[in-house]
Each structure stands twice: as C-alpha cells, then as structure tokens.
Amino acid sequence: MWLQLPGARPQRRRPGPSGQAVDRATRAILPSMSLVIDRVTKRFGPVVALDAMAFEVPRGQVFGFLGANGAGKTTTMRIALGALRADAGRITWGGTPTDALPRRTFGYLPEERGLYPRMTVLQQLTYFAGLYGLPRDLAVREARAWLARFRVPEFADRRAEQLSKGNQQKVQFLAAILHDPQVLLMDEPFTGLDPVNVSLLREAFLELRDRGKTLVFSTHQMEMAEAMCESVAIVDRGRVVVGGTLREVKRSTGRRMIRIGIEADHRLEWLATDVPGARVIRPGIDRSDVELEPGTEPDAVLAAAIARGLRVSHFELVDPSLEQVFIDHVGRPADEEFTLAASGAPDASAAPGSSAGSESESAA
Amino acid sequence: MNRRDPLLPNAHIVARREYAERVSSRLFHLSTVLLAVLAVLVAFAPLFVRLADRGTVSVVAVASTDDALADRSIPVIDGILNGSGAGAAGTFRLERRVDADAALAELADGSLQAVLVAVREPTGRLSFAIHAGESLGDDRLQQLSVAAFGVAVLDYSAANPIGGFQMPVLELLRSGGVGEGGEPIAGAEFASRRILGIVFVVLIFITLVIYGMWVAAGVVAEKTSRVMELMISAASARQLIVGKVVGIGLAGLTQAVCILVPAVAALAIEDAVAVAILGPGPSVAPSLAGLTPALLGAYLAFFVLGFALYALVYAAAGSLVSRAEDLQMLALPLSLVAIAGYFLAVMSLTGGTTGLIRFASYVPFWSPFVMLTRLTVGRVEPWEVVLAFALLIAAIGVVGAVAVRVYAAGVLLYGQRPSLRMLVAAVRGA
C-alpha cells in the first residue's frame, strides 16, 4: 500500500522500472520512452563536474535529482538543454540526442532566476513563448489562464521589478512551461518559495505530470523529493550514487527500521536492555523510530514490549527517510548550506504535507 | 552544439525586443533630444561665429613694390569687401605696404590679420599671394581671394581692351597652420568634403563605440539579472547575438537619424537665417555640395558593416563579465582600436594618403573610419574600396563565429572575470 500523499492524485500509477543507473537491460526495454543520461562526463579545466553521470528518467514521472551544491545537477541540465556540450557520453530523449531535438521539447527553470526587470509579466511570457514558437494570441491566453491558476491574474500588466522574488519565480516557472514542453527541467524550483506558493507549485507539477509531461527537478531538500518524486537519483561529485524508485532508493542502505508507539512510555528505556540490537534513532512523544541491527528482527521488539506488559499503540515497519539515505550514501546532509541559510528563506518542510510523506507499510 | 537553429524567427523576435526596449527608454529619449539640440547648435556655429565676428575689423595690408598696382588694387578690394556704402563701418581696413617681408613680420606679431602680396610678372600677368593670420576666419579669407580676383578682372579690362583674358595666379596661404610656408587650400568643394569627412568620422566613431557599448551593456544586464539563464534554453547563442546586434543597431540608427535630420535641416536654412539676421552677404553654412548619394551609400554601408563588426566583439566582451563595472575595463582595448581608427581617419583628411593610411583603410577594424574619409576626400581606387569591403565582410564572418562561441560559453560564467585558459576551455566546450 502506498501511503496517500496530500495533493497527490488518488489513483497513483505504479512507477515503472526507473531511475536505475543505466544498464543494458533497461535501455533495451525503454529506448524510446525515457530521458537517458548516458555516462556523461564534463570537465571545466581541472574540475570534473560530471564523471560518467548515468541515470534514466521514465516518461511521465516526477523525478528528483538530489545532490548538494556542486554535485553536477545544473551542469547535467545544461547539457540536456544543449547549452553545454558533454566531453563524453550523451543525453537522449526518446532515443534522440536532446540537442538534436527542437528547443520546444524542453522547458527549463534555471536555479539562477531572472526576468527582464522593465517588461510586464505578460510581455515576458509571450516573448519567451514566442521564442519557443508559440503564436502570440495563444501565448497570451495560456499566460492569463496560468496566472489565474496561480491566483495572480493582476500580475499580467505589472513589471517584473514590481514583483516579490517568490512571485517572480512563479512567472519564471510559467515562462518554462507556457510552450507546453514534453520534458520540464527545473533547478531547485522550490527554493525561496513560501509554503503557500510551494503547494501551488506542487499542484502544478502534479497536473503537468497527469498531462503526460516528464518532470525532472533538482533539489537538496529531501522532504520535497520524498513528497513528490516517483523516482530519484542521488548524485555526488558528478556521479550517481544511487538511483531508482523512491522505495528502491530508500531500501538501498540496508537499514531496517520500525516505528513504535507505547502508551504512557515515550522513553523506551527498556529497549536497550531487552533488545540489544535495537536503537532509538528518532525519539518522539507519540512514536519513535527504532533502527534494527542485522540479525535483530522486528518481532523481537514487539515481543519484548508485550513481555513487559506494555500496551503497544502503534507498530510498523518503515523505510529510512530520504535524508538518512542521502547521508548514508554521501556522508553528509545535502542541505547543510540550506540549513545554515534557512533563517532568511522560508522552510520548505513547513509546507503542508511536505514533511509527512514517507512511504511506509503497516506491520501486517 | 549539434543543434543548428535557423536564425529566424528567433533573431527577429530578439531584435524586436531589443529595439523596443532601447527606443522606449527614457534615457534614449533624453539623449536623442540632447544630441539633436547639440547637432543643431553645431550646425549653426558658423552663423554664431559670424554674429560674434560682426563688429571686428580685419586689417589687411596690400604689399607691392608696384605703386600703380597697389594704388589700383586698394580701392577695388575695399569696394568689393566693404561695399560701396560710405557710412557703413567696414569689416576690412586696407593698408599699403611696400616691403612684403616687413608686412609678413607684422602679420606674425598680430598687428595685421592678412597680407596680400601683389606682383606684376614680366608677362603682365598678376600674381597675388594672400597670407592669412590665425585670427582671420575662413569666410573672410575667401572674400579676400574673391576681391583679388576682382582686381585681376579690372586690371585686365583696363590694360587689355582687346585680346585674351589672363587668369590671375591666385594662391591662398594660411600661416600658423601646418608647415612653414602655409598649406595650400583647395576649392570650396574640397572644403565641404573635408567637413563632411569629419562629420562622418565623428558619427561613425560615436555609432560604433557608443552603440557597441549598448550591446555589451545589454548582455551584461541580462547576465546580472540572470534572465540569460532562461534565454539560453529558449534560443541559440547565434540567434541571441544577431538579434541583439540588429535590434540595438537599428535603435542606434534611429537615434542617428533623429539627430542628423534636424542638423541637416539647420544647415539648409542657415543661409536664409543669416540673411534675415545679418543682411545679405556671402554664404555662411558649409556647403553640402560634397554630399553625393554615393557617399551617403558608402557611409550607410560602413555604418552597418562597421557596427556589426564592433558590436559582435562588444557582445562577446559583455558575455565575459558579470558586473557592469567590469565592462569598461574589458571594453577598453576595443575602444582604443576605434580611437586609433578615428585618428588615422582624421590624419587622412589633413595629411593626405600615406602608406600607413592606405594600409589602415583596408584593415577591417579601421576601414569604416579611414576608407570612409578617403572616399569622402576622393583619393581612392575602386579596387581599394572593394578590397576594404571584402575584408570587412570576411572579418565579420570570422569574428561573428568566434563571438558566438565566446558568448555561448561566457554567459554561463559568473563571478570572477575568466582567465584566458578558462575561456578557451569554455569556448571549446560550448
């Protein structure tokens, strides 16, 4: 059972074989369907930005591209867009190298965001859509519709310099999608947005996915990826460390965890003596996360609690958080810098529904 | 980049935006009005000089060992220069000298404004040499030469009632200018062309450097505002550069026309205004006789090609910096190249066609200045013009291709100004 995520569509399509570091088998199965990053290497002078980066984004999915700053996320996207050339390897969409496809195939929301300060929102949107080949009248109609969707129809005739950063970001997002691209590449789309706008943007993502678009976004906010992505790739120093469906990735560390709730006991002091292979890693008043060492079965914890006569109010097997998985693989959190800088920026984890989502299973 | 995006329609869309942004800006309106006013003032400058000059009297000595010639010349010249109105205060006062050298010494110390040395050659032909001091205006020098001509005509009609008219030898010598003995001044047509040449060179210089800088500043602004990040996925570097250069070039052309039209109109009505204010007199305005359609065409061609060449380099330069402050430094070498072209062109107007000038008039970065002035003063073979244009167009192709690569790499570089090695690596990777 998939835990229902707030804002997600009710009937979730089962994610296809995905996100794996590309191997021959997957490429044979899905040559014409997906965005394939095929062992792409890119150097900038002495710096190796991408070191045989390889993963695959299944068509029609929301894909999380996770890594710290400097991991190679932006460079990968720029190569996919044809703005940079790979030293080795290639990126294909539906089997065709992306730089041989029309530009309108892709929409790009860069991390470094900017608009023409003196042009009105509508002028900018029709300008960018025009470059992608969208006729003006259609662009105007689409732009107005989307502005209304984002609850800011009055922005149409405002100059970009009159908008707040967050609202400029929404306009940039519209500039990336107005021409109805098949693949949407977004670099840190949620950074700098307040919770209300985060949820507006999430809804837009899911709607685009339901229209069959493929969405790739980079982030160092694991909660965001956990809440939205069907597949992810964790990258570090230009390489994919682990990739696949969210579940596969979460289980990739071999960590086994349970979440347990005991009535009138939140300290679980008995656990250390009764079950030596179990350790509380995230204590909570209501429920606590407990990690099990190899050889220690979940049943042992349950049995120990019952043997002590405690009333178990909650017990489930859980996967580690993506955050934990990231630290396990990379050796440090992805958002170190984000945490440091977080005083100014709105905390995305405060967004509705963004922190709750982790896939979990009930204990039979 | 494997993708070969066609230039159109995106270059056109970009150009349209660039043009609209420039032309609708307040700075554009303000600078256009200011420059137009300035141009009109400059066009009216001769009139102002004449107005200021109205009260001054030029003392001219007629130096001749021939008493009869001197006695005949002085009243004739006086009559021609000061008119016959007895009461009117003349603008010229004529004095008699015998010794030409003594008179020239007086000219040198400033007590005389001009010396007319009159000699009757053994054949009977008259020879006049007019030495003008620094304080004598061009217009008065011209009047003086006309008066000397008048003397010759009257002398002829008095001495030779029948027989062939002999043109007098007429030399105008200006002291204080170039060279020891003064430099010969050609006819009014040439003078007009030289003024035009200066106007062209100044205009071309302004066009290339100022509007070229607009291109660079536009690129930097797009980088600074980070809108470039959106642009690079929407359009190719080639489309962006060409669009920007064309859009801003047209904006520059618009401004140039807005400045030139009132200035030319001012020149056209200047004589009429002069007559209204000063009364009838010799022409005030520089003659537009030298402004032929061919010359205008050449100016337009050099404007377009020269701007394209410079703007491409400016665009590439702009792509390499992240902040407007850094742009001046990077653009300086290019400005120096333009300034060198400017001086070479001015040299070609005054100093004739030396080997250096001839060479410079083929060099792509200088030909818009130097070949244009050479054409203006009419000292150039057709093949030279063809060669200059061919080299210029070839240079645009080469520089354009390099500029697109530098731009494609440069717009993604932020922070410190990239080192040459980084740049070369980036250009290769673009």
Same structural domain, A215 and A100: yes
Confidence of residue B289 (pLDDT cuts 50, 70, 90): low
Phi/psi at B170 (5° precision): -130, 115
pLDDT of res. B183: 36
> Is residue A360 one of the residues assigned to a domain?
no
Contact A228, A222 (CB under 8 A): no
The answer for B 224-263 residues in CB contact with A (under 8 A) is 225-235
Q: Which two tokens stand for residue A337?
A: 């810098």
8 Å CB contact of B225 and A128: no
Of the residues B16, B25, B230, B421, the best mutation for testing chain A's interface (the one with the most A CB atoms within 10 Å of its CB) is B230
d(CA A310, CA A304): 9
Range of the domain at A317: 253-352
Residue with tokens 């500039």: A175
pLDDT in tens, A168-227: 989 999 999 999 999 999 999 998 888 888 989 999 999 999 999 999 999 888 888 888
Residues of B in contact with A115 (CB under 8 A): 225, 227, 230
Which of residues 366 through 425 in chain B touch A, CB cutoff 8 A?
408, 412, 414, 421-422, 425
Nearest chain A Cα to B12, which residue?
Answer: A131
The residue to which tokens 């992810």 are assigned: A232
Does any domain span residue A103?
yes
Q: Is A258 found in the same domain as A244? A: no
Whether A83 sits inside 8 A of B235 (CB atoms) is no
Question: Could A114 and B425 be called an inter-chain contact, meaning their C-beta atoms sit closer than 8 Å?
Answer: no
Cβ partners under 8 Å of residue B413, min gap 6: B320, B322, B422, B426
Spatial CA neighbour of B204 closest among B369, B385, B343: B369
Domain boundary among A192, A227, A250: A250
Whether the link from the prior residue into A135 is cis, omega within 30° of 0, is no
**Which residues from A are below 8 Å from B229, CB to CB?**
108, 110-114
Contacts of A132 (CB under 8 A, 6+ apart): A103, A104, A178, A179, A181, B234
Q: Would you state the pLDDT for residue B64?
A: 86
Say if A269 falls within a structural domain.
yes
Q: What is the pLDDT of residues B313-329, one digit of tens each?
A: 999 988 888 887 888 88
Query: Is A63 a domain residue?
Result: yes
Residue B12 pLDDT? 93
Do A195 and A315 fall into the same domain?
no
Q: Give me the CATH number covering residue A337.
A: 3.30.70.250
Contact B227 A116 (CB under 8 A): yes
CATH 3.40.190-classified regions of chain B:
54-185
Alpha carbon B243 to chain centroid distance?
30
ipTM of the complex in this document: 0.72
Same-domain status, A118 and A219? yes
Q: Which two tokens stand for residue B319?
A: 């792509």
For residue A241, tell me if it sits in a domain: yes
- The residue ranking higher by pLDDT, B180 or A300, is A300
Closest chain B residue by Cα to residue A80: B233
**Nearest-CA distance from A82 to chain B in Å?**
6
Question: Same structural domain for residues A90 and A116?
Answer: yes
Residues of B whose CB is below 8 A from A132: 234
More confident of the two residues A288 and A362: A288
What secondary structure does DSSP assign to B6-27, as a single string?
Answer: -STTHHHHHHHHHHHHHHTSHH
Whether A9 maps to a domain, the answer reads no
Q: Which residues of chain A make contact with B226, given a CB cutoff of 8 A?
A: 110, 112-114
Confidence of residue A363 (pLDDT cuts 50, 70, 90): very low
Q: Which of B1, B21, B227 sits opposite A99 (nearest CB)?
A: B1
Q: Do A110 and B233 touch (CB under 8 A)?
A: yes
Q: How is residue A90 written in tokens?
A: 């290639």
Close Cβ partners of A177 (under 8 Å, ≥ 6 residues apart): A107, A146, A184, A204, A208
Strand, coil or helix: what is B41?
A: helix
Tell me if A357 is assigned to some domain. no
CATH number at residue A125: 3.40.50.300
DSSP state of B276: H
Pairwise CB contact (< 8 Å): B226 & A114: yes
- Whether residues A81 and B232 touch (CB distance < 8 A) is answered with yes
Same domain, A334 and A277: yes
CB B397 within 8 Å of CB B414: no
Residues A130, A141, single domain; the answer is yes
Q: Give the integer Cα–Cα distance in Å for B199 and A362.
A: 87
Q: B422: distance to nearest CA of chain A, Å?
A: 6
Complete edge-to-edge strand list for the sheet that includes strand B183-184: B92-97, B58-63, B114-120, B126-132, B169-174, B183-184
Q: What does the pLDDT read at residue B60?
A: 87
CA dihedral B378, B381, B384, B386 (to 10 degrees): 100
pLDDT tens-digit readout, B34-75: 988 988 888 887 777 777 766 677 888 888 888 888 888 888
Residue A10 main-chain phi, psi, to 5 deg: -60, -45
Q: Into how many domains does chain A fold?
A: 2
Are A36 and A150 in the same domain?
yes
Q: What is the pLDDT of residue A319?
A: 86
Sheet with A278-282, strands from edge to edge, namely: A278-282, A288-292, A256-262, A312-318, A360-362
**R_g of chain B, CA atoms, integer Å:** 28
Of A215, A232, A250, the residue that ends a domain is: A250
The domain boundary, picked from A250, A276, A310, lies at A250
The model's confidence at residue A231, banded by pLDDT at 50, 70 and 90, is: very high
> Is A363 within the bounds of a domain?
no
Looking at domain B54-185, its CATH class is alpha beta
What is the CA A135 to chain-centroid distance, rounded?
32
For the segment B219-258, what is each residue's pLDDT rounded down to a tens digit? Answer: 998 888 888 888 888 888 899 999 999 999 999 889 888 9
The DSSP string of B285-337 is SPP-TT--HHHHHHHHHHHHHHHHHHHHHHHHHHHT-SSHHHHHHHHHHHHHH
A196 and A318 assigned to the same domain? no
Q: Which chain B residue's Cα is nearest to A132?
A: B234
